[in-house]
Structure 1
């Protein structure tokens, strides 16, 4: 009986280790950033084309952010009155306007390109944090807007990376 219990315990331990999430790689973080930038551009394109940009924004938040799997800390660039977006609906509002009055639709500006320049990426097996600058190319002026970012990632149950931390802000400009 003890041998059976020992074997059962070992099998459980082995299956638990086998089911553990695989470590996050730098390549996955870079791919997640590329996907996020393309999604922001796609929301704006759908808006300009008078397509269902709300559906594109909703899909973006549902697939790239981890709201459905736990907490997400989101502090968007153009937010001052309600600085944080802790729900899926608030995140969608920021990208296309909606439930928060100050939101004017960051993604429907629109932008033609988003490029990331990482200062560094820290990977801790099942999580990753990237920090640097990202640049948004304005569709109307073709000028780039520089924004500082910190993104945190975790692996979702579907094995894809999910954003669980998103902080961005314009660079500080001294007034003296």
Structure 2
């Protein structure tokens, strides 16, 4: 009987100790506030790239765009489904980091881009028509308004997909942009 009690105590201690050493639970669910922060950060980055181009030329703008792509987009996780506003033909879809960088700052002979982020953008706002959240993935659809230094506003229809990674960073994994349809 004594041997059974010792075995039972030993088993219980090992079982409880195992739970104490279990890895902490990490919540990767994305929130609507995190999505809005990511959208705000994207707009601020677009304006920063434009300012850097105005103040320091293409190399400064390209360095900023490179940092933005590395931080905001999920290219390190795999292809990003990116369809820029003014892209067409064989280079319509930018599933690679280099394709996205070219769209924002041009200067790549493989793509016919003049650099969307180099257009003197000074203001940015967005209106989400809807936000869909499922665990670590969020999808949004709505309008983005950008105003340049001449006071001209461009509005685009934007669909974004955001995924929260293992480190808790929210990254763009889907980016579709188009000009509103007009008759």
Which bin holds the TM-score, normalised by the shorter protein? 0.7 to 0.9
Q: Partner of 2:25 in structure 1?
A: 18
Larger Rg: 2
Alignment partner, residue 102 of structure 1? 112
Q: Give the match for residue 74 of structure 1.
A: 82
Counterpart of 1:63 (choices 71, 75, 86) is: 71
Moved more, 68-77 or 92-101: 92-101
The root-mean-square deviation of aligned C-alpha atoms, in Å, is: 2.2
Residue matched to 2:154: 145
TM-score (norm 2): 0.84
Q: Select 2:50's aligned residue among 44, 61, 66.
A: 44
Rounded to whole Å, the distance in 1 between the matches of 2:162 and 2:15 is 36
Give the length in aligned residue pairs.
Answer: 168
> Is 1:136 the equivalent of 2:142?
no
Secondary structure in 1 matching 2:40: helix
Q: Are residues 1:27 and 2:33 paired?
A: yes
Deviating above 3 A after TM superposition, structure 1's stretches of 4 or more consecutive aligned residues are none
- Using structure 1 for the length normalisation, give the TM-score: 0.87
Moved more, 98-107 or 24-33: 98-107
Which string of whole-angstrom CA distances, capped at 9 and with x for unpartnered residues, describes residues 105-142 of structure 1? 00001210111110010111111001000001022x20
- 1:11: how far off? 4.4
Map of 1:169 onto structure 2: 178
My pick for the range that moved more, 100-109 or 58-67, is: 100-109
